[in-house]
Amino acid sequence: MLKIQYLVSGGVITNYKCSSKCKHCCYSSSPKWPNDYMTPSLADEIFAVLKRLGCDAIHIGGGEPLLQPDKIMSVVEAAHRNSIGIEYIETNASWYKDAASAKAVLKELKDHGINTLLISMDPYHNEYIPFWKVKGLIQACSDVKMNVFPWQMEFWDEIDALDDQKTHSLEEYIRLYGQDYPVRLMGRYGLNLKGRAFMTYRPFMKKQPVDQILKESKPCRLLSGIYHFHVDLYGNFIPQSCPGFSIPLKELENGTDPDRYRLFNSVESVGIKGLFELAEKEYGYMPKNEYAGKCDLCYDIRNHLVLELGLDLPDLKPEGHYKYI
């Protein structure tokens, strides 16, 4: 059976809809996603399971969780009911309009026991969010004594060198800091190269023959990892390393039949070769000659199943991960 008996650290994705479509986003969040948000009842269910599995604290992210600040409060309340601490809430500051309205939201968060905001600041976000919003939100946090976890502060001077009233494309950063800036940026940020982040950096990666990738196939045990997992608003357990693969958390707690989640199980237990052989035999998948590694091949197979064949497969959820990349 596929089963998880213990979880250490992770987060809750309250929504995938976002004000941005950042090039580094491994979850493929964007404005195109439906305006769905985690319900209070599902939040209760998720936090109860997490507590039973030994996870005492989580962070909240998205998408942009503060696009709907009224709805995040019920999620926070559900965490408290289940004795789950909230380490921080992630935000890109896009919702900031002025000090007064921002401080009203921050004060309500503090009243609900939230003490820290992780505020994104990097060239990826700056393509969509002018830096004055980030500065304004940081000042508002200071005014109400809300802690700020800046992610990442090392980019401050580079962003601040440009007009903070405007957004700036990655091409502008390249002109200012050099042609190799995107690659250096990837290393400095510490990206998880999945989802849209993988599509962004795929052209920079060395290609390998498909036969070589299959020959080197090993089980991908990170799919059942207990660190930096996420649970999304649909109740899916999102592995720490691979968004787009999922199993309902409540099923993983009790153990679920691997035959129902054959794609997930094939990668977790055999590796990319297992997924390839399954897709080739049962879904008529035909590979290209070369790929930028096993993850590129894996995404090509999954895109074939979800986008080309239009299949509704339980372990390739949510479909928006592929549709809105």
Structure tokens at 174: 């390249």
Q: Model confidence over 122-147: pLDDT tens digits?
A: 999 999 999 999 999 999 999 999 99
In CATH terms, 9-206 corresponds, of 3.20.20, 1.10.3470, 3.90.25, 3.40.50, to: 3.20.20
3-class secondary structure for 99-129?
HHHHHHHHHHHHHCCCCEEEEECCHHHHCCC
Q: Which of 102, 114, 111 is nearest to 141 (CA)?
A: 102
At residue 227, the pLDDT reads 81
At residue 293, the pLDDT reads 97
Domain boundaries, the chain: 9-206
Tokens 């930096």 sit at which residue?
228
pTM for this model (two decimals): 0.95
Query: CA 181: distance to chain centroid?
Result: 23
At residue 115, the pLDDT reads 98
At residue 2, the pLDDT reads 82
Helices 294-303 and 272-283: angle between axes, nearest 10 degrees: 30
At residue 134, the pLDDT reads 98
At residue 40, the pLDDT reads 97
At residue 34, the pLDDT reads 97
Q: Which residues of the chain have pLDDT under 70?
A: none
Cα(148)–Cα(137) distance, rounded to whole angstroms?
Answer: 9
Tokens 């580094």 sit at which residue?
24
At residue 49, the pLDDT reads 97
